[in-house]
Chains A and B, each alone.
Chain A
Amino acid sequence: MTETPKSETVPQKSESPSRRSLIGWGGAGLALGAVAAGGAVAMTRVGDDVDPAGADTGAAVAFHGANQAGIATPVQDRLHFAAFDVKTDDRAEFIQMLKDWTAAARRMTGGHAVGDGAYGGLAEAPPDDTGEALGLKPSRLTLTIGFGPSFFDHFGLTGSRPDALVDLPQFPGDNFDKSRTGGDLCVQACADDPQVAVHAIRNLARIGFGKVAIRWSQLGFGKTSSTTPGAQTPRNLMGFKDGTRNIAGTETDRLKKFVWVGEGDNSANSAWMTGGSYLVARRIRMNIETWDRTSLQEQEDVFGRDKGEGAAVGKAKEHDPPFLKAMKPDAHVRLAHPDTNGGVTILRRGYSFTDGTDGLGRLDAGLFFLAYQRDVRKGFIPLQRRLSATDALNEYIQHVGSAVFAVPPGVRDKDDWWGSTLFSKDAKES
């Protein structure tokens, strides 16, 4: 299932990896790189109502489950990520929108049109569904919702904001475009067909008009990480392999340890997050032109691995355990490695992006970094603190957009809806 395994890539079970290599440093490292381990490709989810399926079949990914799909489920090829602002003060109206969104998401991830469909209705009225995904396969579409820190300023939810959902500190070198930063809530749409992902966001935005408005959105392609290590290792736009050892969807233990919010994590105010996760989204612009004029030696030094095979300095194979001290002190991989960071591990789901060129003719391109973790304070923040201070890569990248979200647990069944644990906890709604 999932991506077609390439025989020349990962000898998955040919050796039994040490714990050290399991938690190995990732492909291109943290800000751009992987921090994860290998594992089998198969993947199951609790309460699945659709068989998990691979890209080659274009089939559907289960929408229902204990965790939301789109985190540990196999990474698809394309992304449309949207951050929304809340536009209503009416709690009941907003809850109804979440229910409407859930119903639409349930249909779209199953490969069905929204509502009464895209045609056949009244000639004088616009159809429920916009229609551009008609005839396309479900394409493993996943839709994942999250709530930003500012969301809890609405609907009297201040007390429900989880302690772990902190506002990210300003890191050295951050240069945010306000129109690409923040948001009350987000929806991550991933699919193997970009039209399917765009269709999903477009239809949710339409349902949301008057209740929410899109603040910013990002299209992504060429996944830069994988949750199925058997797949070919993707390369980022700098040409380096990336995401070779991300946490796999089957690694229940490590998902539990590093990704899913556990019961004991929460004070009472955020018990609703059990089974959820925290998402950090960063738009990382690459100085593509200067990077392309950089010597191969420097490029490899910056990452701490070779460009062809992807092996760590002094090693032969991509998956050989790295010897960090062989790398330059400011090498990206060395700084991002869990061993340098007290074992800190996150699950990455980033995508490359290219939004044409800027007004100066430079490629407006880079990495749209998406990372899931059990606690932002123990995941992204310490890692980025280290990277932003000394990473050699900083000369070639700039963080231009940023957002953080609390991603609630999964929609359990056909009667459940996105955010139900949050809104139901004071029993005002069911």
Chain B
Amino acid sequence: MRAVRLPVVTAVAAAAALTAVTACTAKSDAKDGDAIQVTAADSKCTTSTKSIPAGQVTLKIENTGSKATEVEILFPDDRIVSEKENIGPGTKYTLTAEVKAGAYEIACRPGMKGHGVRQKLTVTGGSVAKRDPKLDAAVAAYREYAQEQADATIPKVETFANAIKAGDLTAAKNAYAPSRVGWEATEPIAESFGDIDPKTDTRADGLEKGQKWTGWHALEKALWQDKKLGAEQKTLATELVTDLKDWQKRVGKAEITPTSMANGAKELLDEVATGKITGEEDRYSHTDLSDFKANVDGAEKAYELLKPVAQKNDAALTTELDKQFAALNTLLDKYRSTTTSDGFVSYDKVTKDQRKELSDGVNALAEPLSKLAAAVVK
């Protein structure tokens, strides 16, 4: 967590700017003739038309399957234009959205998870901003990765919260670092929403006046420093799960662009440089290396998805980045441990000289990584 940061949306590149769209969901009286009929089954998703004019679009959805489903209109980069969750088996719903010209997809997600079943939808009329399909694919894949990370986090944070509610200090300590991994890997996305990070990942010194201290680090202090779990901590644990479920639901709507992905990767290294190297992030548990690794993994994922484009524009840069990611991962591997629950040595055991070496490794990677955005939009 950082006290002050720019949300990912500020990094939107003009060259890759998303088509502006106002989306809304509402019951609609649109006549069936103008609407798109969507039949959502357990393994199929059929739509009555593949092309419509820009403007108000109406989806008449019917769930003919056996599981609750979710239907979405998606941008080419998988950002959600409009969605309806939890459409029960045998029920109908009408979804509307204001849509500009461009290429979209309609997704049905039986069971409300995964990539879903997709249909193309072309919205015609007006001018369409030119977009590089390769970059759209990279953004879509990154969003999917972020969603997977969020989805995988929920059961882990529930394990953590349940241990706290059961008053089990040891189990809660063991579950703390693993519950953070998915969050740390995709932190710029979570932070782009603005309101979630202050509730979940604020440190004691990052609190604003009057702000109640909630989230992971308040519980970290209770576990490692105060060594007691009371009613207050149980409430905090419940709130943490609620807040993270909110994050899980909103990943699909995060504004992500190729340059914000690239700069998000660099920001993950910034997180390492300012919070983990110093040992400030997990000052009670000293599980900083687990966060460190998650930050690097998340950055590497974004980089790998952008690499095909970046390589074409600046091959020397991608060669350097490959080398430096490998070097930093090798360095981190020196601190693996089989005796800790998060798989890394406690950061208070890492000497000053070793921290310097880690810091040098981070600088060696972060400097070329700061040039990735330029290589992507060139």
Known A124-B13, A124-B259, A124-B263; judge A213-B363 contact (CB<8 A). yes
Q: Which chain A residue has the least Cβ–Cβ distance from B362?
A: A209
* B267 to A: closest C-beta gap in Å: 12
Check A125 for interface membership: any CB of B closer than 8 A.
Answer: yes
Annotate B224-267 by CB proximity to A: 1 below 8 A, 0 otherwise: 00000000000000000000000000000000000100110000
In the complex, chain A residues whose CB is within 8 Å of the CB of B11? 124
Are A124 and B373 closer than 8 Å at their CB atoms? yes
- Closest Cβ of chain B to A51, distance in Å, is 35
Task: Find chain B residues with CB under 8 A from A378 CB.
Answer: none
Cβ of A180 to closest chain B Cβ, rounded Å: 13
Instruction: Assess whether B364 is in contact with A209, with CB atoms less than 8 Å apart.
Output: yes
A210-B14 Cα distance, complex, nearest whole Å: 31
Question: B371 within 8 Å of A by Cβ?
Answer: yes
B371 pairs with A210, CB closer than 8 A: no
Pair B374/A209 contact, Cβ less than 8 Å: no
Give CA–CA (A122, B356) in the complex, Å. Answer: 32
Cross-interface CB contact of B370 among A87, A125, A210, cutoff 8 Å: A125
Contact A124 B377 (CB under 8 A): yes
Residues of chain A within 8 A (CB-CB) of B368 are 209-210
A206 sits at the interface (CB 8 A) = yes
Contact present for A125 and B373 (CB under 8 Å):
yes
Determine if B360 is an interface residue (Cβ-Cβ < 8 Å): yes
B363 to A125, Cβ gap below 8 A? no
Q: Is A126 an interface residue (CB 8 A)?
A: yes
Could you tell me how many residues of chain A have their Cβ less than 8 Å away from some Cβ of chain B?
A: 13
**Chain B proximity mask over A70-104: 1 for CB below 8 Å, otherwise 0:** 00000000000000010100000000000000000
Most central of B14, B262, B364 by chain A CB within 10 Å: B364
- Point out the residue from B262, B364, B377 that lies within 8 Å of A210, measured CB to CB: B364
Per-position 1/0 for B336-378, Cβ under 8 A of A = 0000000000000000000010001001111110110110010
Report B-chain residues with C-beta under 8 Å of the C-beta of A211: 364
* Pairwise interchain contact B360-A213, C-beta atoms closer than 8 A: yes
Partner of B364, one of A87, A124, A126: A87
Quick check: is B324 within 8 A (CB to CB) of the other chain?
yes
Interface contact B363-A209, CB-CB below 8 Å: yes
**Which of A87, A122, A206, A213 meets B374, CB within 8 Å?**
A122
| Residues of chain A from 185 to 244 with CB closer than 8 A to chain B in the complex | 206, 209-211, 213
Q: Is the CB of A210 within 8 A of B367?
A: yes
Binding site for A on B (CB under 8 A): 11, 13-14, 259, 262-263, 320, 324, 356, 360, 363-368, 370-371, 373-374, 377
Report 11 cross-chain contacts, Cβ distance below 8 Å, ordered by A residue.
Answer: A85-B360, A123-B13, A123-B14, A124-B11, A124-B259, A124-B262, A125-B373, A209-B363, A209-B367, A210-B320, A211-B364
New contact pairs (6) apart from A122-B373, A123-B13, A213-B363, CB-CB < 8 Å: A85-B360, A122-B377, A209-B364, A210-B363, A210-B364, A210-B365
Closest 3 CB pairs between A and B?
A210-B364, A125-B374, A209-B367
